[in-house]
């Protein structure tokens, strides 16, 4: 652990900057500084490769550096400058305090600049900005001012925490804008499941619990992923409890991206010259469909006497073993459904426990799987609701047997034959749950089964049709199907459910 460098109070005169050789990051480009400041405006911290001179001021610095200004424009703005050029200028009213010391922290990790308030670093984040062309050489910390004196005290240069990669989860990235639009469209019924799905979680920090680190030295890049998805596709060195970090110093980001893209979307493309690296990575982690395709593609190229490394892109696609099915998760992906079902049964790598009132714990599940199928669940886990940070969900007024069937469907993507032979009441409960949680393919499947059961051609040698129709009538009577609006959670609003079935006539 980096030794903390604490400094007593100091006052910086207008247009000055104070440096110390002790105030430096041990690792260039990575570190955190925490301090208290007292000022009317312009609490200013400078980060550069070398210590500044006695007459240094950041406005006259021609060398690479970062400058973070809290309370600029008369304590109304927060600014970040790169080499003297403003890259961030956002509202930040009241960041400075002229009658008492305030506590702040600023961390830098490979161009990711995080600014927070409070005594405890890495908490109470105020703002983050990611430099697309990071300066990984900054190491020394200087304290400056603008047109008024600024007081500083309790200055500490701190190590980044062991889980510093969690800071990346807060990055404001425009890539999420389209995903959020898709979530809204899916919720409003404006798009189908082919527009939503696992591809929207590719390299997303949402619900991630494992991080790959590619590259080495100052050009490392973190890439998030999800344990249950990876382990359903191959064999990765993952723990069941902690957030894992997998180092890949000899793997380029391009190859890792193609690898994960194949897992999350079922297809990818890569240069012919990189097929060998991609195939080796797939073989190492036992993603066998990809390893096989890479090998066959390289052999085919050699057989056709095509030269590798001429800049040609090769497209790889996971064959859909059941093309006549609607392509919903996990179909069309290199996922071992049997392995995924085992993870469902065992609860390995689970991050949420679901309890039903009167029945206790009914399942240990994976938030990402539930989010792939259900907008209500997705909103719970990603929109700041209590379940976003919780590992427990408590439901009421939910039939446990039907709920378990719905969960199994989410993991294997279809109703098993055994599931379809249950009583009419159970099928109706399942249909209502599917509608309530927005699992549209399951809802459609239940409707299809129910209509088949009620068709004129349905044989009922043992009077099952009569019993089934009675179940429908009883269910309609006791549950008021056409106006059911009771939420399964107090703060989870479900849709109004109307079951459109043929008129039920009991003629047997």
Cα–Cα dist 15/148, whole Å: 8
Shared domain check, 194 and 157: no
Q: Domain range spanning residue 234? A: 173-317
pLDDT string in tens for the chain (508-residue length): 333 444 457 889 988 899 988 899 988 999 999 999 988 889 999 999 999 887 788 888 889 999 999 998 888 899 999 999 999 998 876 788 777 888 999 999 888 999 988 877 777 788 889 898 999 999 999 999 988 899 999 898 887 765 555 555 544 333 444 444 445 544 554 445 555 688 889 998 888 889 898 876 556 788 889 999 999 999 999 987 666 789 898 899 999 999 999 999 999 999 988 999 999 999 999 999 999 999 999 888 777 765 544 557 899 998 764 444 445 677 778 999 999 999 999 999 999 999 999 999 999 999 999 999 988 888 888 776 566 667 889 999 899 999 999 999 999 988 865 655 556 778 888 999 999 999 988 988 888 887 777 664 444 444 555 555 555 555 555 444 444 444 444 344 433 333 344 333 333 3
3-state SS assignment for residue 119: coil
Domain termination residue (choose one: 298, 317, 336): 317
**Does the bond joining 11 to the residue before it have cis omega, within 30 degrees of 0?**
no
- For position 59, which CATH number holds? 2.60.120.560
Cα–Cα dist 105/37, whole Å: 11
Shared domain check, 148 and 10: yes
Shared domain check, 155 and 27: yes
Residues ≥6 apart with Cβ < 8 Å to 409: 415, 419, 439, 442
Shared domain check, 243 and 152: no
Taking alpha carbons only, the member of 371, 325, 365, 397 closest to residue 198 is 371
**Domain presence at residue 303:** yes
Domain termination residue (choose one: 149, 169, 189): 169
**Domain presence at residue 183:** yes
Number of domains in the chain: 3
**Domain presence at residue 149:** yes
Domain termination residue (choose one: 122, 143, 169): 169
- Token pair 């039920």 is found at 504
Shared domain check, 407 and 276: no
Sign of CA dihedral 94, 95, 96, 102: positive
The secondary element (H helix, E strand) that includes residue 283 is: helix 275-284
- For position 453, which CATH number holds? 3.30.710.10
Q: How far is CA 78 from the centre of its chain?
A: 28
Shared domain check, 179 and 145: no
Query: If 0-12 CB within 10 Å is exposed, 13-18 middle and 19+ buried, where does residue 135 land?
Result: buried
- In this prediction the pTM is 0.60
Shared domain check, 195 and 125: no
3-state SS assignment for residue 33: strand
The residue ranges of DSSP E strands in 159-220, in sequence order, are 210-214
Contact assessment for residue 291 and residue 275, using Cβ atoms and an 8 Å cutoff: no
Q: In what order do the strands lie in the sheet with 221-225?
A: 221-225, 210-214, 244-248
Please give the C-alpha separations between residue 452 and each of 70, 367, 420, 440, in angstroms, as whole numbers: 67, 33, 11, 18
Q: How far is CA 57 from the centre of its chain?
A: 41
Shared domain check, 364 and 398: yes
Shared domain check, 386 and 306: no
pLDDT tens per residue, range 321-353: 444 444 567 777 899 999 999 999 999 999 999
**Domain presence at residue 499:** no
**Domain presence at residue 328:** no
Shared domain check, 136 and 93: yes
Shared domain check, 177 and 163: no
Cα–Cα dist 272/300, whole Å: 11
Shared domain check, 100 and 233: no
């Amino acid at each position: 652990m980096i030794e903390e460098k604490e400094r007593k109070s100091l006052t910086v005169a207008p247009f000055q900057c104070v440096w110390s050789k002790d105030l430096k990051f041990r690792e260039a480009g990575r570190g955190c500084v925490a301090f208290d400041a007292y000022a009317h405006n312009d609490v200013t911290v400078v980060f550069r490769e070398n210590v500044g001179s006695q007459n240094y001021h950041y406005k006259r610095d021609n060398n690479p550096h970062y400058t973070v200004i809290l309370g600029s424009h008369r304590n109304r703005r927060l600014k970040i400058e790169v080499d003297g050029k403003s890259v961030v200028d956002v509202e930040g009213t009241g960041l400075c305090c002229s009658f008492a010391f305030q506590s702040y922290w600023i961390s830098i990790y490979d161009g990711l600049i995080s600014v927070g308030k409070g005594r405890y670093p890495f908490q109470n984040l105020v703002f983050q900005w990611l430099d697309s062309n990071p300066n990984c050489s900054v190491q020394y910390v200087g304290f400056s001012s603008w047109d008024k004196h600024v007081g500083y005290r309790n200055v500490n240069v701190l190590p980044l925490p062991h889980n510093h990669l969690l800071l990346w989860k807060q990055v404001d990235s425009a890539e999420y804008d389209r995903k959020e639009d898709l979530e809204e469209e899916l919720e409003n019924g404006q798009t189908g499941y082919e527009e939503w799905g696992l591809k929207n979680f590719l390299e997303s920090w949402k619900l991630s619990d494992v991080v790959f680190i590619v590259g080495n030295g100052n050009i490392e890049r973190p890439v998030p992923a999800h344990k249950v998805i990876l382990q359903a596709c191959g064999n990765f060195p993952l723990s069941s409890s902690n957030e894992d970090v997998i180092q890949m110093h000899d793997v380029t980001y391009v190859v890792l991206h193609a690898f994960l893209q194949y897992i999350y979307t079922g297809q990818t493309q890569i240069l012919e010259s990189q097929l060998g690296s991609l195939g080796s990575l797939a073989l190492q982690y036992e993603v066998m469909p990809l390893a096989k395709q890479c090998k066959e593609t390289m052999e085919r190229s050699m057989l056709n006497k095509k030269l590798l490394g001429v800049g040609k892109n090769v497209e790889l696609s996971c064959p859909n073993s059941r093309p006549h099915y609607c392509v919903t998760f996990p179909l069309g992906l290199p996922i071992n459904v049997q392995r995924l079902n085992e993870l469902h049964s065992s609860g390995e790598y689970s991050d949420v426990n679901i309890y039903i009132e009167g029945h206790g714990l009914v399942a240990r599940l994976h938030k990402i799987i539930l989010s792939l199928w259900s907008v209500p669940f997705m909103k719970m886990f990603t929109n700041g609701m209590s379940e976003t940070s919780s590992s427990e969900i408590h439901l009421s007024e939910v039939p446990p047997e039907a709920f378990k069937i719905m969960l199994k469907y989410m993991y294997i993507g279809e109703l098993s034959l055994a599931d379809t032979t249950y009583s009419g009441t159970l099928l109706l409960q399942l249909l209502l749950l599917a509608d309530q949680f927005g699992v549209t393919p399951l809802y459609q499947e239940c409707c299809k089964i129910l209509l088949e059961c009620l068709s004129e051609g349905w044989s009922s040698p043992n009077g099952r049709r009569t019993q089934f129709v009675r179940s429908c009538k009883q269910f309609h009577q006791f549950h008021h199907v056409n106006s059911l609006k009771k939420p399964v959670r107090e703060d989870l609003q479900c849709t109004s459910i109307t079951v459109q079935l043929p008129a039920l006539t009991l003629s047997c």
